[in-house]
Homo-oligomer: A and B are copies of this chain.
Amino acid sequence: MRELVHEAARRARVAATSLAVTPRGIKDAALLAAADALVEATPQLLAANAKDVDAARADGTPEHVIDRLALDADRVEAFAQGLRDVAALPDPVGEVVRGSTLANGLRMQQVRVPIGVIGMIYEGRPNVTADAAGICLKAGNAVLLRGSSSAKHSNAAIVDVMRAAIEKAGLPADAVQAIPADDRLSATELMQARGLVDLVIPRGGAGLIQAVVEQSTVPVIETGVGNCHVYVDADADLDMALDIVMNAKTQRTSVCNAAESLLVHRDVADAFVPRVVAALRDAGVTIHGDPSFVAADPAVLPVTDEDHAAEFLALEISAAVVDSLDAAVEHIRTFSSHHTEAIVTSSLASAQRFAASVDAAAVMVNASTRFTDGGELGFGAEIGISTQKLHARGPMGLPEMTTTTYVVTGEGHTR
């Protein structure tokens, strides 16, 4: 398995070296061709997907998981459209990040260049295969795709169609390769191919991400675990606070930018806690609350530290009353996953102090946590949401899939 993964990585390096000097026009044409080819291949993709769905059903996989796995013509069209959207975005490669002429006449430019070979280790949905390949390609990188074994037929079919299409358009087919998903070892070898693979991005549940972070010797960008808080400040507009809590918790529960924890300033607890408890209850949300919340409704369960730390991804929330903004920040720093923290306040000072103190990829002031999303923030395509501090933090789009080179030009300059 090691030799297989290393060989794939070496072929990817050759492809990446050529992609690095491929102009935007050719990359975009290849992405559009891949989009058309995927739509055209819908019958084959659905047939491959049916094998995965049948196997999942035979294994007793729950229907909501099967729903994420299953493809139909609309879903194929959606990820083809995703590739067209990526083609329409500006090419990050060649962007001059900074530049100046130095006192001695040297001309210095910091220029965006591709990272090289990127490994994706991901679960579930087959659309990640097309999305990740498209984003990596556009930024001039080769990608090794290691999806879950439950989607192996679907992923292999998507990769086959994309490889054929981009090769016809003049890109090296090896810029997009699937790594066999049947053997656990293939993921391990991928994350330990230091020197051959430049970056590994895990995308999936907390367990997957933790395993990659611990075992990888290749640099990793962590994505996506979100224990997001909404803090209702003493100066909050309580109608706005209620809207934001309900939206952040209930609009879509299975996503990393959904709220999992609610903190309420003591000054507004009497006015707000009963209202929010009633609204959450009406929406079917289970509340794990501190005594103030339990007092508002006996259906509230007593909260534990585990609840405060949990990413429920369900109609479930932890809740507590805090004595001050600083106590809220302290609570968040203790339990957060550094994804998104929201404050509802009409105080400028509170907003600024909260934003400077919570240590998160994103801070929402009077807005739902659900806005931490590449699409919502106008970045176009997104390959994941980084919750770490190095290289990329928050939604990662095309620029985050590049590194830079300083190009310094002189006329024989020496020191």
Give the B-binding residues of A (Cβ under 8 A): 17, 20-21, 100, 102-103, 106, 108, 110-111, 113, 115-116, 198-199, 213-214, 217, 219, 221, 237, 239-240, 243-244, 246-248, 251, 333, 351, 353, 355-357, 359-368, 370-372, 376-378, 388-391, 393-395, 403-415
Q: How far is the CA of A366 from the CA of B214 in the complex (A)?
A: 43
Question: Please, which residues of chain B bring their CB within 8 A of the CB of A411?
Answer: 240, 366
Residues B116 and A371 in contact, CB atoms below 8 Å apart: no
Closest residue on chain B to residue A237 by CB atoms: B412
* Complex partner residue of A412 from B115, B243, B412, CB under 8 angstroms: B243
Smallest beta-carbon distance A415→chain B, Å: 5
* Complex partner residue of A377 from B108, B362, B363, B415, CB under 8 angstroms: B108
Smallest beta-carbon distance A156→chain B, Å: 29
Question: Please, which residues of chain B bring their CB within 8 A of the CB of A408?
Answer: 362-365, 367, 371-372, 377
A214-B217, A377-B102, A415-B251 as given contacts; A364 in contact with B405, CB under 8 Å? no
Closest residue on chain B to residue A390 by CB atoms: B391
14 contacts between A and B (CB under 8 A): A17-B359, A102-B378, A219-B388, A251-B414, A251-B415, A366-B409, A366-B411, A366-B412, A367-B410, A368-B414, A368-B415, A370-B414, A389-B403, A390-B390
Residues B414 and A244 in contact, CB atoms below 8 Å apart: yes
Interface secondary structure of A, over-half rule: mixed
Smallest beta-carbon distance A287→chain B, Å: 20
The 3 closest A-B pairs by CB, nearest first: A367-B410, A247-B414, A240-B412
Closest residue on chain B to residue A102 by CB atoms: B378
Question: Please, which residues of chain B bring their CB within 8 A of the CB of A363?
Answer: 405-408
* Complex partner residue of A357 from B21, B239, B243, B409, CB under 8 angstroms: B21
Q: How far is the CA of A366 from the CA of B410 in the complex (A)?
A: 5
Closest residue on chain B to residue A330 by CB atoms: B17
Smallest beta-carbon distance A356→chain B, Å: 5
Q: How far is the CA of A390 from the CA of B390 in the complex (A)?
A: 7
A102-B377, A388-B219 as given contacts; A17 in contact with B333, CB under 8 Å? yes
Residues A116 and B359 in contact, CB atoms below 8 Å apart: yes
Max chain B CB contacts within 10 Å: which of A106, A368, A378, A413? A413
Question: Please, which residues of chain B bring their CB within 8 A of the CB of A357?
Answer: 17, 20-21
Question: Please, which residues of chain B bring their CB within 8 A of the CB of A403?
Answer: 389-390, 393
Smallest beta-carbon distance A124→chain B, Å: 22
* Complex partner residue of A370 from B110, B248, B378, B415, CB under 8 angstroms: B415
Question: Please, which residues of chain B bring their CB within 8 A of the CB of A113?
Answer: 356, 359
Q: How far is the CA of A355 from the CA of B360 in the complex (A)?
A: 36
Q: How far is the CA of A371 from the CA of B21 in the complex (A)?
A: 25
* Complex partner residue of A413 from B21, B110, B217, B371, CB under 8 angstroms: B371
Question: Please, which residues of chain B bring their CB within 8 A of the CB of A213?
Answer: 217
Question: Please, which residues of chain B bring their CB within 8 A of the CB of A410?
Answer: 364-367, 371
Smallest beta-carbon distance A18→chain B, Å: 10
Closest residue on chain B to residue A198 by CB atoms: B389
Residues B404 and A394 in contact, CB atoms below 8 Å apart: yes
Q: How far is the CA of A356 from the CA of B22 in the complex (A)?
A: 10
Residues A412 and B244 in contact, CB atoms below 8 Å apart: yes
* Complex partner residue of A415 from B240, B371, B389, B415, CB under 8 angstroms: B371
Smallest beta-carbon distance A90→chain B, Å: 13
Smallest beta-carbon distance A166→chain B, Å: 20
Smallest beta-carbon distance A128→chain B, Å: 21
Smallest beta-carbon distance A10→chain B, Å: 12
Other contacts beyond A108-B377, A198-B389, A363-B405: 10, CB < 8 A: A115-B389, A219-B390, A244-B412, A362-B406, A362-B407, A363-B408, A365-B410, A366-B410, A371-B415, A394-B404
Question: Please, which residues of chain B bring their CB within 8 A of the CB of A362?
Answer: 405-408
Residues B413 and A367 in contact, CB atoms below 8 Å apart: yes
